[in-house]
Amino acid sequence: MNRIYLPVDIYFGENAIAQSGDNIFNLGHKPMIVTGRQSAKVCGAEEDITKLLERLDREFVIYNEVTENPKIETINQGIKYFIESQCDYVIGIGGGSPLDAAKAIALGAANHIEGDQLFDTKLHEKCYPIVAIPTTSGTGSEVTQYSVLTDTKANKKAGFTNPLIFPIVAFVDPKYTISLSQKVTRDTAIDALSHLLEGLYSNRRNQLIYPMIYDGIKLIVHHLKDLLLHPTNVKLREKIMKASLYGGIVIAHSGTTLQHSIGYPLTTEFGLSHGLANGVVMKYIMELYYPAIKDELDELFLHLGMSKEDFYKWLDSLDFSFDMKIHDDFIEDKILEVVQSRNMANNPFTVSTTQIKNIYYQFK
């Protein structure tokens, strides 16, 4: 049986806030805008939303302390500020980091919980409404029920899942991504590509969503390199943002797999961006999974008009140069974290520790 459940009101396209922003009117009286240091300002999204709030005669506060791979401490501070300011909904603006932080703050404030308690779904009874405005084309967090945080004490990434944190409204405007650097454009698009592929890899794969998967992957493979050459082309930005939105819808239904869990330690240990961590292992994961999901992947390559080898060449041409040498100690230290991560339940078959180690050994 397949099911689609997506309780997010999605407005996709240029000037989405100007055209449809009034739809937030009934969400509450005082939002807290949750964002990073720079990007919401640089890309114009913060100005669009503050103008809207002023026109709607709404007070608001801004919490712009969220950094990449958001830290639990930042969330705790945001929860405190939200409660003190008597806010009643959040507006997350940014890449996946501010959007995930916005979700955690809305949930933490509603239930008066913080820190490790955020991961305990038994303590999640309600959540303040969430508005999501993505400024990267990658995570699809604007349409997922996930929040991924970083536990700095344990030096590891940990997420939680709850339908309560699905945003109520998402404004997805490709023009906000024009200011992305070439590297963030590439890395985040590769994150979206991972999500789309994982919709085929996952043992929770959902055939109703296959058209989005095939279309989304096609958009990235056919247009990403062109976009990297023409970063201000909003039509190309729109294609990649659509793929990212599709990727979010895919993982909201099928979850992620080893493709993601194997990359988390590469981010915490070597500082690889989330998308790059997915990208460097992508062909090894595909090679591992291929025999188990040959039909789905062959169908994909038919849609793309390329062979698996052509796909690998295309990946190589994106030039994932990075400074990373993996030692045995790292593997021994992190293997348990990978094996125990919740995404492992979604693999197409039971993956052994030797198979995971063999992928890490590619980077010795």
Among 94, 167, 255, 348, contact with ligand NAP (rule: CB under 6 A): 94
Which range binds ligand NAP by CB under 6 A, 2-10, 145-153, 330-338, 342-350? 145-153
Contact 131, 90 (CB under 8 A): yes
242 vs 164: CA distance, rounded Å? 24
As a whole number of angstroms, the distance between CA 321 and CA 225 comes to 16
Applying CB under 6 A, among 96, 129, 174, 255 the residue interacting with ligand NAP is: 96
Q: Are 237 and 227 in contact (CB under 8 A)?
A: yes
d(CA 248, CA 232): 24
Residues 270-289 binding ligand NAP (CB under 6 A) are 274-275
Q: If binding is defined by CB under 6 A, does position 330 make contact with ligand NAP? A: no
> Which is closer to Zn ion, CB of 111 or CB of 244?
244
Of the candidate spans 33-41, 51-59, 315-323, 355-363, the one that interacts with ligand NAP by CB under 6 A turns out to be 33-41
The 232-261 site mask, x for binding ligand NAP (CB under 6 A), equals: ------------------------------
Beta carbons of 216 and 250 less than 8 angstroms apart: yes
36 binds, among Zn ion, ligand NAP, none (CB under 5 to 8 A by kind): ligand NAP
Binding to Zn ion in span 63-82, by CB under 5 A: none
- Using CB under 5 A, which residues numbered 185 to 224 contact Zn ion? 191
* Helical axes 182-201 vs 210-229, angle rounded to 10°: 160
Angle at 145 between CA 352 and CA 125, to 5 degrees: 115
Scanning 144-152, 297-305, 307-315, 317-325 for contacts with ligand NAP by CB under 6 A, the matching segment is: 144-152
- Per-residue 3-state assignment (H helix, E strand, C coil) for 104-168: HHHHHHHHCCCHHHHHCHHHCCCCCCEEEEECCCCCCHHHCCEEEEEECCCCEEEEEECHHHCCC
Minimal distance in Å, beta carbon 302 to ligand NAP? Answer: 28
Residue with Cβ nearer ligand NAP (9 or 68): 68
For residue 11, CA distances in Å to 4, 19, 170, 183, 331 come to 18, 9, 6, 27, 43
Site string for ligand NAP, 106-135 (x = CB under 6 A): -----------------------------x
Element (H, E) at 32: strand 31-36
180 makes contact with ligand NAP (CB under 6 A): yes
- Cα 241 to its chain centre, rounded Å, is 12
Backbone phi and psi for residue 329, each to the nearest 5 degrees, phi listed first = -60, -45
Binding footprint of Zn ion on the chain (CB under 5 A) = 191
Tell me which residues touch ligand NAP (CB under 6 A): 36-39, 42-43, 68-69, 94-98, 100, 135-136, 138-141, 144, 146-148, 176-177, 179-180, 184, 188, 191, 274-275
